[in-house]
Structure 1
Amino acid sequence: MATEDARPWHPVVRARAALDALERLVVGMGTAVLAVAASLWVLGTAVLCVAGVGILLVPAALRLVRTVADRERTRLEVLHPPPVPGNPRAALAETSVRRELGWVVCHGTFGLLLSLTALTLAVDVMHDASFPVWWWFVAPGDATPAQGFFTATDWGDAFAICLFGVATLVVTVVVVPVLDRWQAWPGKRLLSPHRGMDLALRVVELTATRAAALDAHAAELRRIERSLHDGTQNRLVAVNVLLGAAKRALARDPAAAEEIIGRAQDAGEQALAELRGVVRTILPPVLTERSLPDALTALAADCPVTCRIDADLPAHPAVSVQVTAYFVVAEALTNVAKHSGASAATVRLRHERDRDRVQVEVTDDGRGGADEDTGSGLTGIRRRVEAHDGTFALASPAGGPTTLVVSLPCGS
C-alpha cells in the first residue's frame, strides 16, 4: 500500500502524475486516430456534395462524428448531447454538431501530434537511459542516442547518453502532464453542452440518479430487514423458547435445564454475531476507526483470491464516498471469487487531484465476460455509484481480463 508524500512537487507524486497523464494521452491518441478517419470521411462527403451526389451521405458522416465525439466525451466525463437529427439541414443547424466538426479536425491534428510527442519522449527516455546495457551488442553505426546526433565509441560516450536519457526523463515528467491538459482542452471546450443544454441534461441526470439512490436505499433497507428477520430474529426466538423450556425443567430436572440454558446461551451468542455482521454491512467500523485503504486491505485479506491493494489516497473524502468505495470493492471481490475463475486481483485506489475525485479500479485475470444483465451485482454497484454522482465503467472481454473503474467526487 502506497504511503508516499502527497506534496505536489514530491518526485514520486510527479512521476505518478506523469504516468497517469501518459496513459490518458495514449487513450487520447486512439480517439485522435478515429477523429482523423472521421475527418477524412466528412471531407470526402463534402467533396461529393459539391459534385451533387453526396447529400445522402451527410447523415451517416455526422453520426460517425457524433460516435467519435461521444467516445471522447466518455473519456473526459463530459455530458452527452441529444441524438443527431436525421435531417441534414437540421443537423448542421445544431450548435453541438458544428462544434463536434471543429473538434474532430482539431483533435485529429493537434491532439494526435501531442500524443505522438509524449510517446516519442517516453521511447527516447527508455532508449537513452538503457543505452549502456545494449550499445556494445549493436553495430558501431547503430550505437547512437535517440536523436542520433553522434555515435558512441566507448563506455564514456555510453554513460553520457545515459545521463542525457535521465535528463530527458526529468523533462518528460514535467512536460507530459502539460501535453495531457492541452490535448483535453479542445474536447472540454467544444464537446461540453452549452449552458442551457448543460442545465437541462443535468436535471435529467440528477432525476435519474435520485431515483436510483432511492431504489438503492430501499434495496438496502430490504436487505437489512431480511438479515434481521431471517437470522437474528430467529435466533432470539430460539433463545426465548429455550429459556422457557429451561424454566419449566428447572424444578423437575436441573441437569436438563442446565443443558437447555447452555443451548440458549449459544443461540444468543450466534444472534449477537449475526447482529454485528449486519451492523458492519451498514458502516464498517474500520472506516471510522482507521481509513479506507486499511478497510480495503482487510477485504483483500478475507478474499479467497489473491488480492493486492495499491492505494494512494492522501486526502480524506466524505464518509459517504468512503462507504460507497468500500462496498464497490467488496461486491467486486465477491464477484471475482464467485464467477471469474481468477487467480489474482488488484485493487487500485487513487485521488485525482485535478478533478478532486476518488478513482477505484478492480482488475482480475479471470475468464472475463462479466455482464450487468447476469444478476452478478454489477447493476447494484452502478446504481450506488451513480447515486453519488459518480461514473461506472466495465471492460470484460471474453477470455479476460476484467477491469471495473469507478470514479466518485470527493465532496459527495
Structure 2
Amino acid sequence: MSGASVRRWWRALRWLAVELGAGLGSFLFLFVCLVISPLLVLSGGWLLVPVVVVPLRRWADLARERTARRVPIESAYSPIPPSPSFADRLRLAFSRSTGRDLVWLLGHGTIAPLASLLSIALPFAAVNALLVPAYWYLAPADDPISSPFPVTSWGAAAWSPLVAIGYALLAWWVIPGVAFVLRRAQARILSPSHKARLAARVTALTASRAAALDAQSAELRRIERDLHDGAQNRLVNVVMMLGIAERSLETNPDDALPQLQRAQEMAMDALSGLRTAVHDIYPPILDELGLECALAAVAGRSAVPCSLDTSSLRRVPAAVESAAYFVVAEAVTNLNKYSRATRALISVESDTSAMVESVRIVVEDDGVGGAHERPGGGIAGIRRRAEAFEGTLQLTSPQGGPTNMRVELPCGW
C-alpha cells in the first residue's frame, strides 16, 4: 500500500463527503423545482423561468468545478437577455442546456447522496466492528449489537475483527470506485454535446463578428470625425491664409510675411493633428517598445496617479496588444474625467489557466463610483473591443465607489 494510493483514497473519500452534502442541496433544489413547476402553466408563471434557471446554472457550474480534474468542463450556456420576452423564457425553459441540468439535478439529488452515504459508511462500519468486543456485553439481551450479525457471546464477538477487516477491504475498493463512477457520470451529463458546443461556438463567433464590425465602424467614424474636425479644418485655414498672403503680395507686400507665418503655424497644427490621428489608429510605441512600455506611457500621462502592474504579462498577438492598449487608454480617460479619484491601480496580466490564453485587465480606483455603460460612451466602446475578441467586460461601480473594471481578451492561440 503506497503513499500515493492512500492519498488517492483520502481524496476520493473527501470528494464523496462533499458530494453527499451537495447532493442533499440538489435534493432540496429539486423539491423546489417540483413545487414551482405547476405555476409555469399558469398565466404569468413564465416569469419564474429565469428565477429558476439562473441559480440552476450556477449550481451546475459549481458541480463542474468539483468534478473537473485537469480540463475544465464547458457549460456552453446561451446568454439570457436582460429583459427576456415570453418567447425567450419559453426557449430557455425547453432548451437542451436546461434539460441537461435538470437530468443532472435529478440524479445528483437522489442517486449521488445514497451512493456517497453507503460508501462513506463502510470505514465507520469497519471501526465499529473492530470495537464490538469492547462493548457488546453492555447492550441489553433483547437488543444485542449487530455488526453485521447479532453478537450475543464472546465467541460471536471474536469474529468481529475479521468482519472489520472485510469492511476495510470493501471500503478500500468501493470508495475510489464509486467516486470514479460518480465523477465520470457527472462529467458526462454536465458536458455539452458536440452539437451544442458547435452551436455555442457559432453563436459566439457570430456575436464576436458583429462586435468586430461595430468596433470597426465606430473606429472609422471616430477617425473621420477627428480628421474632419481637426486636420481638415486646419488645412482649410492654411489654404485661406495662403490665399490672403498671395493677395497681400500683390497689394501690400509688407503684410504678407505675418500672414505666411500664421499659415505656417496653422500647417504645423494640422501636422500635429494628423500625427495624433495616426497615433490613435495604432500607436507606434507598441511596435517599438511593446505593450508594457505603451501602458506605462498611458499611466504616466494620467492626471490621477496610477500604479501599473505588468509583471505577469507575456507577449501576445499584435491585435490583442492593440486592443489591450486602447482598453487601458479609454479606462484612464474615463478615470480622469469622471471618477474624482486620488489613486488608481492598473493590472495587466496573462492568464494561462484556461485552454485558451487570455489577457486580463483590471482597473480599480477609489473615486466616487456610479460609472455605468451608456450607448456611445467609453465603456460601451471598451465592451465592443472586448467582444470583438470573444472577450468579456465586468464593471462594478456602486455609488460612493470604488470602481472596478475587469476585461478578459482571449488571445486565440
What is the TM-score normalised by the length of structure 2? 0.62
2:330·2:378 contact (CA, 8 Å) conserved in 1?
yes
Q: Return closer, same or farther for 1:400/1:62 CA change in 2, 3 Å cut-off.
A: same
Show structure 2 runs of 5+ residues with no match: 1-18, 41-47, 66-71, 80-87, 114-183
Q: Return closer, same or farther for 1:197/1:92 CA change in 2, 3 Å cut-off.
A: closer
For 1:275 and 1:73, the matched residues in 2 are separated by 55
Deviations 1:299-338 (A, max 9, x none): 1111111111011245211111001001111111111111
Question: Which residue in the other structure is 1:336 paired with?
Answer: 335
Deviations 1:138-166 (A, max 9, x none): xxxxxxxxxxxxxxxxxxxxxxxxxxxxx
Q: Return closer, same or farther for 1:357/1:290 CA change in 2, 3 Å cut-off.
A: same
The SS at the match of 2:374 is: helix
Q: Which amino acid is 1:386 matched to?
A: E
- Confirm or deny that 1:41 pairs with 2:28: yes
Cα offset for 1:352?
A: 1.0
Q: Which amino acid is 2:314 matched to?
A: A
| % identical equivalent positions | 40
For 1:274 and 1:397, the matched residues in 2 are separated by 37
Question: Which residue in the other structure is 1:304 paired with?
Answer: 303
Q: Return closer, same or farther for 1:93/1:216 CA change in 2, 3 Å cut-off.
A: closer
Bigger CA radius of gyration: 2
Cα offset for 1:239?
A: 1.0
For 2:191 and 2:368, the matched residues in 1 are separated by 37
For 1:328 and 1:252, the matched residues in 2 are separated by 55
The SS at the match of 1:399 is: coil
Deviations 1:2-43 (A, max 9, x none): xxxxxxxxxxxxxxxxxxxxxxxxxxxxxx9x9789536326
Deviations 1:99-134 (A, max 9, x none): 3666799999xxxxxxxxxxxxxxxxxxxxxxxxxx
Which range is displaced more, 386-395 or 89-98? 89-98
Cα offset for 1:346?
A: 0.8
- Confirm or deny that 1:66 pairs with 2:56: yes
For 2:63 and 2:254, the matched residues in 1 are separated by 74
Give the number of equivalent residue pairs: 300
Q: Return closer, same or farther for 1:88/1:214 CA change in 2, 3 Å cut-off.
A: closer
Question: Which residue in the other structure is 2:161 paired with?
Answer: none
2:92·2:98 contact (CA, 8 Å) conserved in 1?
no
Deviations 1:275-302 (A, max 9, x none): 0010011001111110111111111111
The SS at the match of 1:94 is: helix
For 1:103 and 1:281, the matched residues in 2 are separated by 54
- Confirm or deny that 1:99 pairs with 2:86: no
Question: Which residue in the other structure is 1:278 paired with?
Answer: 277
Q: Which amino acid is 2:102 matched to?
A: V
1:62·1:97 contact (CA, 8 Å) conserved in 2?
no
For 1:89 and 1:253, the matched residues in 2 are separated by 85
Question: Which residue in the other structure is 1:149 paired with?
Answer: none
Q: Return closer, same or farther for 1:407/1:72 CA change in 2, 3 Å cut-off.
A: farther
Q: Return closer, same or farther for 1:276/1:90 CA change in 2, 3 Å cut-off.
A: closer
2:26·2:108 contact (CA, 8 Å) conserved in 1?
no
For 1:92 and 1:228, the matched residues in 2 are separated by 49
Question: Which residue in the other structure is 2:321 paired with?
Answer: 322
Question: Which residue in the other structure is 2:170 paired with?
Answer: none
Question: Which residue in the other structure is 2:410 paired with?
Answer: 409
Matches within 5 A, 1:10-409: 39=26, 41-42=28-29, 44-45=31-32, 56=38, 63=53, 65-69=55-59, 78-81=75-78, 94-99=99-104, 191-355=190-354, 356-373=357-374, 376-409=377-410
For 2:94 and 2:243, the matched residues in 1 are separated by 83
Cα offset for 1:67?
A: 4.6
1:391·1:407 contact (CA, 8 Å) conserved in 2?
yes
Q: Return closer, same or farther for 1:65/1:57 CA change in 2, 3 Å cut-off.
A: farther
Cα offset for 1:199?
A: 1.0
For 2:346 and 2:203, the matched residues in 1 are separated by 32
2:26·2:105 contact (CA, 8 Å) conserved in 1?
no
2:291·2:321 contact (CA, 8 Å) conserved in 1?
yes
Measured on the aligned residues, the alpha-carbon RMSD in Å equals 4.0
Show structure 1 runs of 5+ residues with no match: 1-31, 109-184
For 1:276 and 1:395, the matched residues in 2 are separated by 35
For 1:237 and 1:93, the matched residues in 2 are separated by 62
2:360·2:408 contact (CA, 8 Å) conserved in 1?
yes
Cα offset for 1:85?
A: 6.1
For 1:234 and 1:87, the matched residues in 2 are separated by 53
2:342·2:367 contact (CA, 8 Å) conserved in 1?
yes
Q: Return closer, same or farther for 1:87/1:332 CA change in 2, 3 Å cut-off.
A: closer
2:61·2:75 contact (CA, 8 Å) conserved in 1?
no
The SS at the match of 1:400 is: coil
For 2:299 and 2:185, the matched residues in 1 are separated by 40
Q: Return closer, same or farther for 1:383/1:296 CA change in 2, 3 Å cut-off.
A: same
Q: Which amino acid is 2:28 matched to?
A: W
